[in-house]
């Protein structure tokens, strides 16, 4: 096997490893199966109102969060009216292993296997979290099908009220109901972003073709867009600040550091630089760009800040990521005529002319 083939195999192996990690449920940019969508679910009220008891929909309609600071035990009822979750007055969240909701709520559309012991008769509490806040996936708050509701299917470009949902609870034995609404909100046209991506693709491609080491500067821009894009998703998942969002996706932090290192190697035109460029730019193209394309044409997404920010980042990541991957591959292809490496280059023996 030639040196070029070995290097390309190494790069492809690294890229495949990174992408395998990125597609695991623990990493995925989208949260719990709730990516960009046109469904919007939110809490409209709690009846009766109770001081210290609050609820909100989180993760883009994927989960319901209830905080119980009322100083009393709160029982969340399941789909058959059985005890499902318990938030104690002193802190601590438990789930009932005899409730079918415990198992149905493990998947987006309730396709989990329910054991025969879950008969909704009696309770068997299992501690699952500390504190007074419970967060769980609840099928009552989202559209529980991959098929569009009939009114939406008939007029997808119109706004529709889908359903008013209710989640019943018991606070110290007294009934309490969290009420919310699920609506369909049509997304924006993706044409403006398509135009932006096309312009960036042509402009960046022309620059890199003429001045190959401009790729280093473009990688800085690509990395910045990926940082903003990913931190917004991480902050939404962890319900935290910008600083708190660092570390939510540890592998991404490693990729960003690797990208900064790659900038230096690419600026010097080394083979290692081009090899690393293919890996990090390919990662950002697929995970941060292509995986988030849905946000360009949908009205909601699991993102902590304005969707305009995420749309702009995605529109940058796709064309720049593609240009840089192609540039890296092109730089590794040997040419019949090659110039000598720049004098004084620390990696002159491995340098590729710019």
52-86 pLDDT per residue, tens: 999 999 999 999 999 999 999 999 999 999 999 99
Residue that is written with structure tokens 């009322």 in the block: 70
The average pLDDT across 8-31 equals 43
* 18 within 8 A of 251, measured Cβ to Cβ: yes
**Geometric angle at alpha carbon 286, from 107 and 108, rounded to 5°:** 10
Cα–Cα distance measured from residue 182 to residue 6, given in angstroms and rounded to the nearest whole number: 53
pTM score, whole prediction:
0.81
In the predicted structure, residue 104 carries a pLDDT above the cut 60: yes
In the predicted structure, residue 343 carries a pLDDT above the cut 60: no
In the predicted structure, residue 346 carries a pLDDT above the cut 70: no
Q: What is the pLDDT of residues 170-184, one digit of tens each?
A: 999 999 999 999 999
Express as a percent the part of the chain with pLDDT over 70. 85
Tokens found for residue 213: 């080491």
User: Which pLDDT value is given to residue 34?
Assistant: 63
User: Which pLDDT value is given to residue 157?
Assistant: 96
Residue that is written with structure tokens 């905080």 in the block: 67
- What are the DSSP calls for 168-233, one per residue? EEEETTEEEEEEEEEEE-PPPPSHHHHHHHHHHHHHHHHHHHHSTTHHHHHHHHHHHHHHHHHHHH
pLDDT band at 352 (very low <50, low <70, confident <90, very high): very low
The average pLDDT across 325-349 equals 66
In the predicted structure, residue 150 carries a pLDDT above the cut 90: yes
In the predicted structure, residue 4 carries a pLDDT above the cut 70: no
More confident call, 157 vs 248: 157
- Strand-pairing partners, residue 170, are 75, 175
User: Which pLDDT value is given to residue 190?
Assistant: 94
The average pLDDT across 91-103 equals 97
How many other CB atoms sit within 10 Å of the CB of residue 217?
15
**Geometric angle at alpha carbon 30, from 155 and 28, rounded to 5°:** 150
Cα Rg, the chain, nearest whole Å: 25
What CA–CA distances, in Å, run from 26 to 200, 219, 234?
32, 26, 12
User: Which pLDDT value is given to residue 335?
Assistant: 57
In the predicted structure, residue 337 carries a pLDDT above the cut 60: no
In the predicted structure, residue 33 carries a pLDDT above the cut 50: no
Q: What is the pLDDT of residues 200-257, one digit of tens each?
A: 999 999 999 989 889 999 999 999 999 999 999 998 888 777 777 788 888 889 999 9
Q: Is 270 helix (H, G, I), strand (E, B) or coil?
A: strand
User: Which pLDDT value is given to residue 6?
Assistant: 52
pLDDT band at 32 (very low <50, low <70, confident <90, very high): very low
Mean of pLDDT over the chain = 87
């Amino acid at each position: 096997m030639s040196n070029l083939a070995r290097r390309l195999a190494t790069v492809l192996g690294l890229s495949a490893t990174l992408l395998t990690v990125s597609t695991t449920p623990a990493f995925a940019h989208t949260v719990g199966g709730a990516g960009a969508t046109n469904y919007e679910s939110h809490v409209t009220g709690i009846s009766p109102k109770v001081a210290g008891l609050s609820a909100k929909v989180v993760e883009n309609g994927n989960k319901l969060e209830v905080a119980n600071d009322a100083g009393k035990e709160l029982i969340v009822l399941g789909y058959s009216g059985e005890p499902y979750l318990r938030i104690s007055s002193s802190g601590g969240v438990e789930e009932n292993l005899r409730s079918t909701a415990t198992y149905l709520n493990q998947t987006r559309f309730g396709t989990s296997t329910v054991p025969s012991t879950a008969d909704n008769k009696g309770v068997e509490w299992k501690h699952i979290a500390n504190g007074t806040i419970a967060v769980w996936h609840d099928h009552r708050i989202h559209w529980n099908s991959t098929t569009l509701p009939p009114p939406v299917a008939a007029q997808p470009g119109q706004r529709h009220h889908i359903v008013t949902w209710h989640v019943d609870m018991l606070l110290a034995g007294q009934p309490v109901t969290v009420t919310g609404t699920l609506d369909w909100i049509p997304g924006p046209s993706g044409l403006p972003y398509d135009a932006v991506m096309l312009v960036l693709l042509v402009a960046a491609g022309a620059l890199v073709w003429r001045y190959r080491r401009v790729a280093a500067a473009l990688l800085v821009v690509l990395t910045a867009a990926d940082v903003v894009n990913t931190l917004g998703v991480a902050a939404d998942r962890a319900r935290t600040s910008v600083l708190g969002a660092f570390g939510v996706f540890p592998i991404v932090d490693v990729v960003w550091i690797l990208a900064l290192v790659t900038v230096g190697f690419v600026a010097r035109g080394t083979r290692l630089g081009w090899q690393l460029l293919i890996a990090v730019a390919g990662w950002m193209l697929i995970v941060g760009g292509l995986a988030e394309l849905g946000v360009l044409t949908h009205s909601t997404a699991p993102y902590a800040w304005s969707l305009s920010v995420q749309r702009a980042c995605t529109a940058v990541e796709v064309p720049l990521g593609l240009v840089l991957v192609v540039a890296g591959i092109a730089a590794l292809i040997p040419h019949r005529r090659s110039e000598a490496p720049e004098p004084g280059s620390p990696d002159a023996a491995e340098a590729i002319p710019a």
